[in-house]
Amino acid sequence: MSQDSSLQNNVHSTSLALEVTDIHKTFRNKAQDLTVLNGVSLTVKQGEFVSIIGPSGCGKSTLFHIIGGLVQPDSGTVSMNGREVTGERGHISFMPQQPALFPWRTIEDNVILAQEIMGISKKKARAEAREWITRVGLSGFEQSYPHTLSGGMQQRAAFLRALLSPEELICLDEPFSALDALTRSDMQRWLLDIWEENQRSVLFITHNIEEALLLSDRIYVFSNRPGTVLQVLDVPLPRPRREEIIEDPIFLRLKREISQMMKEEQTS
């Protein structure tokens, strides 16, 4: 390899916030073996917003668990910023599909959890959390416990906790699925605002094609289980993006393309 190309390779790998390579996963139990992921590879560049869309049960959440080090893949690797971290925990900010709030902590204490673990001063973390709790419409519930909140309110608190976590890569698993259309669109706008301000790297799972197009730089479309990458689509829409973008011809073309792919996948 020439010096030039080795230099390029080096730049390429270190500029990737996340590189998932050829992941295979089969869950084995007495009754049956279930192959869930069959050779999935994907990348998120630093500061990039990437979404995954795919049929229910195709292995999206499992892939997140593998990225977060909660589940071991049978083969394949996970690297962040050029370093292999397969099976290691603590490298990502993760919002699981079921908002996993700690029942014994108040909403405010749940929101600041990751900052507390990182040793950021509680006073500073609380001040920031309070501001955000108000913005997401949870003011007055700072000292409430999770079980006294609705599902959508718990989802917003879990979303905030992920946003305020200091890790560079944020993985959000259907973060807005329990929200009504209006609240969902508010949350999408906040997420866009924060992302445009801070340019964090985001990997986002959704079933909502419009949401993926509004937010993403690239979209991975997954097949039925066992999950494979059917297609990777660039979303060449200008930023900053606002809701009007849903009338853009590029938006409409991509929406048709993805819908068609999903329909074919569902009937195959």
Ligand X SMILES: Nc1ncnc2c1ncn2[C@@H]1O[C@H](COP(=O)(O)OP(=O)(O)OP(=O)(O)O)[C@@H](O)[C@H]1O
**Positions that interact with ligand X (CB under 6 A):** 27, 34, 36, 54, 56-62, 97, 225
Report the amino acid identity of residue 20.
V
Distance from CA of residue 108 to its chain's centroid? 22
Q: Would you give the DSSP letter of residue 119?
A: T
Dihedral class, residue 179 (left if φ above 0, else alpha if ψ from -120 to 50, else beta): beta
User: CB–CB of 141/107 below 8 Å?
Assistant: yes
Q: 96 touches which of Mg ion, ligand X, none (CB within 5 to 8 A by kind)?
A: none
Q: 34 touches which of Mg ion, ligand X, none (CB within 5 to 8 A by kind)?
A: ligand X
**CB 45 → ligand X: shortest distance, Å?**
24
Site for Mg ion (CB under 5 A): how many residues?
3
Q: How far apart are the first and last CA of the chain?
A: 44
**Assigned token pair, 5:** 């190309």
CA 247 to CA 238: how far, in whole Å?
Answer: 13
Q: 56 touches which of Mg ion, ligand X, none (CB within 5 to 8 A by kind)?
A: ligand X
**CB 90 → Mg ion: shortest distance, Å?**
22
Q: 62 touches which of ligand X, Mg ion, none (CB within 5 to 8 A by kind)?
A: ligand X
Establish if 183 lies at the interface with Mg ion (CB under 5 A).
Answer: no
User: CB–CB of 204/50 below 8 Å?
Assistant: yes
**CB 107 → ligand X: shortest distance, Å?**
25
DSSP, collapsed to helix, strand or coil, labels residue 253 as: helix
Interface characters, 38-77, with Mg ion (x: CB under 5 A): ----------------------xx----------------
Establish if 15 lies at the interface with Mg ion (CB under 5 A).
Answer: no
Using the minimum distance from each CB to Mg ion, give the nearer residue, 146 or 227: 227
Using the minimum distance from each CB to ligand X, give the nearer residue, 38 or 61: 61
Establish if 97 lies at the interface with Mg ion (CB under 5 A).
Answer: yes
Segment (H or E) for 106: none
**CB 59 → ligand X: shortest distance, Å?**
4
Using the minimum distance from each CB to ligand X, give the nearer residue, 41 or 61: 61
What's the 3-state SS for 4-61?
HHHHHHHHHHHCEEEEEEEEEEEEECCCCEEEEEEEEEEEEECCCEEEEECCCCCCHH
Q: 178 touches which of ligand X, Mg ion, none (CB within 5 to 8 A by kind)?
A: none
Stretch that binds Mg ion, among 77-85, 91-99, 140-148, 208-216 (CB under 5 A): 91-99
**CB 226 → ligand X: shortest distance, Å?**
9
Report the amino acid identity of residue 196.
E
Q: Would you give the DSSP letter of residue 222?
A: E
Contacts to Mg ion by CB under 5 A: 60-61, 97
